[in-house]
Chains A and B, each alone.
Chain A
Amino acid sequence: MRARIPVLLLCGSLALAATGCTVGGSADSGAGSGSGAKKTLVVAEWTNPSAIEATKKINAIFEKEHPGVTVKLENAPTAAGAWGTLTNSLLSAKSVDVLAQFAPTPAKFPPADTGLKSSGSAALITAGQITDLSGQDFMKSYDPVLQKYGAGYNGGIYGVVAAEYIGHGAVWYKKDLLDKYGVKVPTTYTEFVAALKKFKDAGKTPIFVAGKDGLQGIVYGGAVQQLLMKGQTGADSTAVSDQRAKDFWAGTKSWNDPLYKEAATKYTDVMQYIEPAASGVAQLTAPGVWAAKSDDFPFFLDGSWDGNTIKEANPDLKFGFFVMPATDDAANNRIPVKADLTWMVPTWAPNKDLAMDWLRTFSRPENYKLWLDATGSTSTQPGVTSSTLPWMDWLNEHSDERFVALTDPWIPAGAPPEAAGPDLTKMTPFGKQSVDDALKGAATAYQKSVGKK
């Protein structure tokens, strides 16, 4: 009988190990609600070094105000699917309280008659997995129109849109270099091209861009945004965006329309001024390379989120930011602002009340300002001015010219990249396709992917 005991113990231990149980010991309460005084609030955010540092500071403030609570910050880079994997893991384990997501916007909620299904955070919202925050007191601090557009669905608001960035048309410039050649920040397309020509004639390479990761799309995308908004008020942008999606779906508008041809032609004109091997430059190294070369590359195509990265690469560089003017009427050359990081609270969050408290702490003007200054984001709280970072001067001066960036038409899963517009890696100068062929290819790809051809 005595000999059987070790066998039984062995079997029991192995069986427990196989089923993931532990023997004699208590599991760490982790994010669980836990019955003890100590609680762990789990906040997840993708890796943006400046934002992570700022969030850690806010977490420290929160922990000080909530004795016994520890905030665990989970993060992973968005590259190579790491962030998606972390998100899925946290959602599967139901072990996250506050989760950062990209603002879904109406583009991610296609109407039922399209037959398309929501993806990403929109799928979570439609499945009832995300808490409606519209009744929360801290939501009053934020711009209601933007919150509704960024995270609204069926009358509820399912997240706090905390960050907005400028991607379309985003251009960084070297202040000293522009001063040296007597070039002012351009306000019209003709002025912009003239500035590029002036630098080229002076033996400089006017534009630096990370073409390997598609940043050249900043020019085409910026032109499309401004051309579509021509003659409209900033407040019309959501309606323009919605109508465009419907028109594309109905087949009455396509990538082959004159507006897109104008944008693509301007894109190819501007691309004459980029560095020769731009298509091989990665976004990871581009800000550093551009910043280090202070006597060349007066302009750099990159989103407004990279200001701190540029500053770190060359602290002595005086640089600024503006949005590329795509028309010759300065009044039409406005700033498309894209809703970005959005905090969401799952309906099953283990520490839901604490999660709301954390969002309350985050939303307090002094804390939110701290976060804005670190990330370079524009403010989504009317009561808090945007970042006072030196390179934000142009944006702050033109803050009344902003509009919510138009989103892409509805596109089915698995559609080729061309369905979302001309593939700029195939179109000249990176590829061999002409503007006409690239636009025709994009129009056909879209129509085929939605089953209209």
Chain B
Amino acid sequence: MTTCPFGTRRTRRWIPWLSIAIPGIGWLVFGLYPSVATVGYSFTKYSGLPGTALNVCGLCNYRDAFTTMLPDVAGSLKVTIVYVIAVTLLQNGVALGLAVLLKEKRPLYGLYRALIFMPQIFSVAVVGAIFSLLLDPYSGPVAHFLHSAFGITSSLLGSTTLALPLVIVVNVWMFTGYSMLIYIAGLRHIPKEVYEAGALDGAGRWAVFRHISWPLLAPATTVNVFLTAMGSIGEFALILVLTNGNFGTRTLGLSMFTTAFGSNSQLGYGSMLAMLQFFLTLVIGGGLLVVLRRREVSM
């Protein structure tokens, strides 16, 4: 019998299966089971508290969402779509600009990139608390600056016109570093020869960006746009901490969270909202992939 570092040839055959089995079990327990359970709970009036009755009710939650609760669901959906579009465009625009500025390997550029990426590693609760204090109309520095420099008094996060844009800006501030790194990787992947050819043709900076960098960044753009859109569809934690969904910031994700896990939780109805969010993600995510992939091929 031949032996090897991990047993015989016969036992060694099982090592790869064992390696797959462990994360596989983790995925089954912490990934698949909650997903399937959410589908199941969406057909119940379950409170979500362990030991209480499931109260299976079929399609009752879906019926309510499209009849009696439709104005609320439609309102949350509208805010969600505005939020996703704004965050995706702004975050990718800012990240691309920063990537173009900071792609080179120069002194201190590494530090700048690290500083821009840093908010990504903060917890949402910390970011929410910091911005709540910064944007407090009485004790926050932003309000003091606006008042002393321009004589403006604003309730900032308590304003129905400013609350949603401010939450969007905080979201972009938090996650732009990640998108920037993907764009930098994309930019560094573009062969220098292409730029040299452009220079020989007399292309200026804008022409180089428009006709060389931007088309060749298509794969990085696909990844960034897709990840940003998918991340912002489900966003609720930042909004919860900053505005609690008031002043026109109630997204579908926040409605889902407050219904499913609030002080009077109704996990059944909340799960139904999670399913609606899932279908929204499927439609937007699928649509984006199709469009962006086609763009990659055409370029």
Contact A6–B155 (Cβ < 8 Å)? no
Contact A277–B263 (Cβ < 8 Å)? no
A-B contact count, CB below 8 Å? 172
Contact A91–B155 (Cβ < 8 Å)? no
Contact A414–B7 (Cβ < 8 Å)? no
Chain A: CB-nearest residue to B143: A277
| Contacting residue for A4 out of B7, B72, B154, B257, CB 8 A | B7
- C-alpha spacing A188/B261, complex, angstroms: 41
Contact A279–B132 (Cβ < 8 Å)? no
Interface assignment of A27: CB less than 8 Å from any CB of chain B: no
Residues of B within 8 A of A102 (CB): 263
- Which of A117, A118, A289, A414 has the largest count of B CB atoms less than 10 A from its CB? A414
Contact B22–A282 (Cβ < 8 Å)? no
- C-alpha spacing A87/B52, complex, angstroms: 14
Contact B47–A119 (Cβ < 8 Å)? yes
Residues of A within 8 A of B191 (CB): none
Contact A3–B3 (Cβ < 8 Å)? yes
Q: Which of A89-127 contact B (CB under 8 A)?
A: 91-92, 102, 108, 117-120, 123-124, 126-127
Contact B159–A126 (Cβ < 8 Å)? no
| Contacting residue for B47 out of A120, A214, A280, A425, CB 8 A | A120
Contact A279–B247 (Cβ < 8 Å)? yes
Contact A449–B47 (Cβ < 8 Å)? no
Interface assignment of A413: CB less than 8 Å from any CB of chain B: yes
Contact B49–A123 (Cβ < 8 Å)? yes
Contact A285–B159 (Cβ < 8 Å)? no
Residues of A within 8 A of B47 (CB): 117-120, 123
Q: Which of B135-192 contact A (CB under 8 A)?
A: 135-139, 143, 153-160
A43-85: CB near B (< 8 Å → 1, else 0) gives 0000000000000000000000000000000000011110111
Chain A: CB-nearest residue to B76: A416
Interface assignment of A194: CB less than 8 Å from any CB of chain B: no
- C-alpha spacing A84/B75, complex, angstroms: 26
Mark the stretch among B79-87, B221-229, B264-272 that contacts chain A.
B264-272
- C-alpha spacing A102/B135, complex, angstroms: 31
Which of the four size classes fits the interface of chain A?
Answer: 35 or more
Contact B52–A123 (Cβ < 8 Å)? yes
Interface assignment of A163: CB less than 8 Å from any CB of chain B: no
Residues of A within 8 A of B257 (CB): 81
Q: A81-B262, A120-B263 known; A18 and B22 CB under 8 Å?
A: yes
Residues of A within 8 A of B246 (CB): 212, 214, 425
Contact A277–B69 (Cβ < 8 Å)? no
Chain A: CB-nearest residue to B241: A80
Interface assignment of B50: CB less than 8 Å from any CB of chain A: yes
- C-alpha spacing A448/B74, complex, angstroms: 14
Interface assignment of B48: CB less than 8 Å from any CB of chain A: yes
- C-alpha spacing A211/B143, complex, angstroms: 16
Contact A92–B50 (Cβ < 8 Å)? yes
Contact B51–A84 (Cβ < 8 Å)? no
Residues of A within 8 A of B51 (CB): 91, 124, 127, 129
Interface assignment of A389: CB less than 8 Å from any CB of chain B: no
Q: Which of B72-126 contact A (CB under 8 A)?
A: 72, 75, 125
Could you list 19 A-B pairs, sorted by A, with CB under 8 Å? A18-B26, A81-B240, A108-B264, A117-B55, A120-B263, A123-B49, A127-B49, A212-B243, A276-B153, A278-B155, A280-B135, A412-B64, A412-B68, A413-B269, A414-B266, A416-B72, A416-B75, A425-B247, A430-B160
**Pairs A-B, 9 closest by C-beta atoms:** A279-B158, A280-B155, A413-B266, A280-B158, A277-B137, A416-B72, A123-B47, A277-B155, A127-B52
4 further A-B pairs in the complex, CB-CB below 8 A; given A91-B50, A120-B47, A285-B136: A123-B49, A127-B51, A413-B269, A414-B72
Residue positions of A touching B, CB distance < 8 A: 3-4, 6-7, 11, 14, 18, 78-81, 83-85, 87-88, 91-92, 102, 108, 117-120, 123-124, 126-127, 129, 211-214, 275-282, 284-285, 288-289, 412-416, 425-426, 430-432, 445, 448-451
